[in-house]
Structure 1
Amino acid sequence: MTALTPSGQTATGQDRATSSLRGVASAEEAKLWLRERGIEDIECMAPDQAGVARGKLMPADKFFGSPTMSIPTSVFAQTITGEYPAEDASFKQDPTDGDILLKPDFSTLAVVPWASDPTAQIIHDAYTRDGRPVDIAPRQLLKRITALYDREGWTPVVAPEMEFYLVKQNKDPDYQLEPPVGRSGRAESGRQSYSIQAVNEFDDLFDDIYDFSEAQGLEIDTLIHEEGAAQMEINLRHGDPLQLADQVFLFKRTIREAALRHNMYATFMAKPMSREPGSAMHIHQSVVDAATGRNIFSNEDGTPSSDFFAFIAGQQKYLPSVMCMLAPYVNSYRRLARGTAAPINVHWGYDNRTVGIRVPNSGPQARRVENRVPSSDANPYLALAASLACGYLGIKEELSPEDPIDGSARHLPFGLPRGLLEALALFEETEELADIFGQRFVSTYRAIKQQEYETFMQVISSWEREYLLLSV
């Protein structure tokens, strides 16, 4: 396929390879792209279950000699602590820990702007030796869900919003985190929602974030200060789910690296500080007809369609069952507290930020559903796959939602799991999820999270020492 240059002339592969900030169409164009930029090394990476980049670093001149590389199967069965889950009736490890293949997606090729030597990065997909997609790989799971939409002639569209904290560097995990000191020489001490001045405290850091993002071809829509002390939010433009998941994956790396340059940490923990609000990853979702581009959430007269209401109903029915993918750690559930900005149920409402499922004000073509349940620690590939799967099931099952909530839903009963074990039980018990995700993914993911919970239970908290040590 050819492309047009700004002058309207047809662009060659060489034109694309030399001008593109992000992505090329083939290995041949990638060679030109790397040569033009004097790239010496390539980070060949795939996101694991936690959204951590796994892979290999290799010299650029060696990459094309063998662009397909192998890694152990166990990479996709590793916990956040680097352990492996115990085998049980539903989960069995590969006894040989044999290799799987990583194949580059050249559309993700970009520079690594913070690297000391000229370095590029490419996101890879995982395949078995006989060419089948690795069904437990997060990027492949998202592709599996979007393929379900494709078969119906639909195209899902998403726009993620990421919240995160800037914190003072803390090298001892036994000490609580603190807000960093900005250019005024003082740390934030109060609520600063939407404060321009509070954002300006970290101008140099955000300049680096914008510069790093531009160099990688990543597009930020807006940047705001959120409610917590040094809590920020970055909103991304709407688009294809896989491309947006890639962007969130890369943005997390980018923001962390930029913060380190300024002697701070950037954290996407759901609840990093006990007295501050939690951090979310809100997901705006709509679905368009692939042939016409029409938003299927709206009828021709502009009114909400039956598919719109069924999508909401699917979110209401199934979000509790995919909660372990949207809130994947013990810490994630600390965010979901009554009386905070985080939702505690799956009620829905029009322009209502107290519910789990919000319908923002918009015209018929922009009609969308905002899932406010996921926390910022979620793997973006798994969170998008889970949320879109819920809506898909709602449409296919022709479900009907409850009535929308007009007032606050914060006083209503909890409708979401209160902890990781409860979430895992719902996840494993919901047969529809095994059908749509595949039983192997469900069993593997459940086993990983179960192991992480067991590891957490080995840690004695300061609360226990404070209130139990001399009192019980």
Structure 2
Amino acid sequence: MSGLPDTVRTVECAVADFSSIARGKIVGRAEFDAMRGCKLPSVVFGVTLTGGEPETVFGPLLPAAYGDLHLEPDLSTAVPVPGRTDRVSVVCEPTGLLPDARRFSPRAALRQVLQRLADAGLRATVAPELEFFLVERTTEGGLRPAAVPGGSGAREHALEIASLERTAQFAPYFDALFDACAVQRLPVTGHAHESAPGQYEVNFAPGEPLAMADAVWRFKRLARETAVRQGFLATFLAKPFLDQPGTGMHWHFSLQDTTSGRNVFSQPDGQASPRLAHFIAGLQHDAAGALALFAPYDHTFDRMNRGDASPTTAGWGGDDRSVAFRLPPASPANRRVENRLPGGDANPYLTVAATLGLGLLGMERADEPLPEAPALPRSLGAALDALDTSAALREVLGDALVDLYIALKRHESAERNAVANPRHGWDFVHLTEQA
């Protein structure tokens, strides 16, 4: 038996692929208990965001016969589905069919990195900051800031940064969203109007990396579903408006000694430890390849290439929001690194796995920060080339996952770039509701 409450009649088996969308199925309680999860066709993990089936995937990487995988539940993640008293949602990982189907799972990749940290006597604490836009589609195929709920037609026409009044006008949306977050135990701590029309940021409490990646993945779904119910869209699209700042997903990372609990980025006298520099250097050395994970679509590079406080090099520094790896003002116990490269459309599991994995490698090798900030790739294709040749990221994530990711992203990129007006004809069509 699963140990779920007797009131549960159906179970939502949810699994993360490389996108932000939860895949899976809803099964009856008896079937879930009998199967200890559920089955799902392996084709789900080999199709692109638009349902494309790359020839480089089926056969070379995944079975061409589309056999079933088993979704193995992590019962510690079971939470109610908002609005339902008889259904829970459980995060699962794919197993079976292949020698180890988990090798294609972003969540399993993160767990492996966390095990490497534990083997080194370390644990991590992370805290995400997630930006997104509330928008609606125009008749011309573009996007604009969403109208205020209630039918008045009021909307933001120019930047109203940090406006409590505009934020309050969307209170029905945020109240419903945070109620859903409370039901699913997502540790959101607050929200504010951000630096572009229709843009908001939500903050999360610091926590254990796997739980926080689960929280961000679930939050993105709740944000989108709640918006649709209120008549507009919530999108994590990286750059909805070319003349405005884009959508970031910034993560704060600190490391603690598992025995003493001490922050290893600080020395006993309160000064920064050499391990902090080594961690940052590990990120710098493979930032080019990691950018393929932090900026997963061609569209994401509109955010990277049009500044607006988005980093364009793998630089690091103090309280400077233009660098990739920022050191926010903090006490020695809370000293941390903020990774400002990821866009809101990045996969949270791969983002955290790559950051912690590369940082750990930098510490193990005692890397030193580079004297000049390395330039970052200016296109998805260049970033994918760097990922393909990155021995460090292949060590951190595994060859199977890296090869599958690259195959899917190259197929998506080719499809997108074959469209006459890709920003309106592919990005806004496919990414607005799925990124």
User: Same fold by TM (over 0.5)?
Assistant: yes
Q: Which residue of 2 aligns with 1:62?
A: 31
Matched, 1:189 2:157: yes
- What's the counterpart of residue 89 of structure 2? 121
Mapped to 2, the partners of 1:88 and 1:27 lie a distance apart of: 34
User: 1:206 & 1:464 partners in 2: Cα distance?
Assistant: 28
| Equivalent residue, structure 1, for 2:244 | 276
User: Residue 318 of structure 1 aligns with which residue?
Assistant: 286
Kindly indicate whether the alpha-carbon contact (under 8 Å) linking 2:353 and 2:396 is maintained by their aligned counterparts in 1.
no
Q: Aligned to 1:460, which of 414, 420, 424?
A: 420
2:239, 2:299 within 8 Å by CA — same for their partners in 1? yes
* Residues 165 and 267 in structure 1, CA contact (< 8 A), matched pair in contact too: yes
3-state SS of paired residue (1:64): helix
The aligned counterpart of 1:350 is 318
Deviations 1:233-262 (A, max 9, x none): 111111111100100011011111111121
Q: What is the TM-score normalised by the length of structure 1?
A: 0.85
Cα 1:423–1:130 shift into 2, 3 Å:
closer
Residue 204 of structure 1 pairs with residue 172 of structure 2:
yes
* TM-fit CA distance, 1:449: 0.6
Computing the radius of gyration from Cα coordinates, the structure with the larger value is 1
- For residue 185 of structure 2, give the secondary structure of its aligned residue in structure 1: coil
Deviation at 1:316, TM superposition (A): 1.4
Match status 1:177 vs 2:118? no
1:212-291 correspondence to structure 2 within 5 Å: 212-291=180-259
Matching residue's letter, 1:200: A
Considering only aligned residues, what root-mean-square deviation do their CA atoms show, in Å?
A: 2.3
In the alignment, what sits opposite 2:112?
Answer: 144
- In the alignment, which residue of structure 1 is the partner of 2:264? 296
The equivalent residue for 1:377 is: 345
SS at match of 1:424: helix
Which residue in the other structure is 2:74 paired with? 105
- Change in 2 beyond 3 A, CA 1:462/1:437: closer
Per-residue deviation, 1:40: 3.2
Change (3 A) 1:92 1:107: closer
Taking the aligned partners of 2:395 and 2:422, their CA distance within structure 1 comes to 42
Greater RCO (CA < 8 Å, at least 6 residues apart):
2
Measured after TM superposition, the shift of residue 66 of structure 1 is 2.0
Distance 1:129 1:447, change over 3 A: closer
* Cα distance between partner residues in 2 of 1:69 and 1:129: 13
Kindly indicate whether the alpha-carbon contact (under 8 Å) linking 1:319 and 1:387 is maintained by their aligned counterparts in 2: no
The answer as to whether partners of 1:167 and 1:265 remain within 8 angstroms in 2 is: yes
- Distance, in Å, in 2 between the alignment partners of 1:389 and 1:90 is 30
1: CA distance, partners of 2:291 / 2:190: 27
Question: 76, 83, 86: which one pairs with 2:45?
Answer: 76
1:85 Cα deviation from its structure 2 partner? 1.9
- Partner secondary structure for residue 272 of structure 2: coil
* Partner AA of 1:191 in structure 2: L
> Does 1:419 pair with 2:379?
yes
Most deviating of 304-313 and 384-393: 384-393
Query: What residue number does 1:45 align with?
Result: 14
Cα deviation, residue 210, structure 1: 1.2
Cα deviation digits, residues 354-384 of structure 1 (max 9, x gap) = 1111100000110000000000001111111
Inter-partner Cα distance in structure 2 for 1:345 and 1:114: 45
Q: 1: distance between equivalents of 2:347 and 2:86?
A: 28
Contact 1:141–1:437, Cα closer than 8 Å, also in 2 = yes
**TM-score for both structures, normalised by structure 2:** 0.92
Residue of structure 2 in register with 1:163 after alignment: 131
CA contact (8 A) 1:49 1:78 kept: no
| Other structure's SS at 2:323 match | coil
Shift of 1:390: 1.8
More off after superposition, 384-393 vs 90-99: 90-99
Contact (CA 8 Å) 2:103, 2:401: kept in 1 or not? yes
Structure 1 ranges of 4+ moved more than 6 A: 462-465
Say if 1:283 and 1:372, in contact at 8 Å, map to a contact too.
yes
- In structure 2, the CA distance between the partners of 1:369 and 1:93, relative to structure 1 (3 Å rule), is same
Between the aligned partners of 1:246 and 1:417, the Cα distance in structure 2 is: 29
Question: How far apart are residue 274 of structure 1 and its match?
Answer: 2.5
What is the deviation of 1:227?
Answer: 0.6
| Identity %, equivalent residues | 34
* Structure 2 gaps, min length 5: 426-435
Question: In the superposition, relative to structure 1, how do residues 361 and 69 fare at CA in structure 2: closer, same or farther (>3 Å)?
Answer: same
Distance 1:233 1:79 in 2: 28
Query: Residue in 2 aligned with 1:13?
Result: none
CA distance in 1, matches of 2:148, 2:285: 44
Please tell me the residue identity of whatever aligns with 1:111: P
Q: What is the letter of the counterpart of residue 177 of structure 1?
A: L
Whole-angstrom distance in 1 between the partners of 2:98 and 2:17:
21
Task: Say whether 1:441 aligns with 2:409.
Answer: no
Verify the 8 A CA contact 1:49 1:77 in the aligned structure 2. Answer: no
Write the distance in 2 (CA, Å) between the matches of 1:146 and 1:158: 12
Q: CA deviation at 1:428?
A: 0.4
Task: State the aligned residue count.
Answer: 423
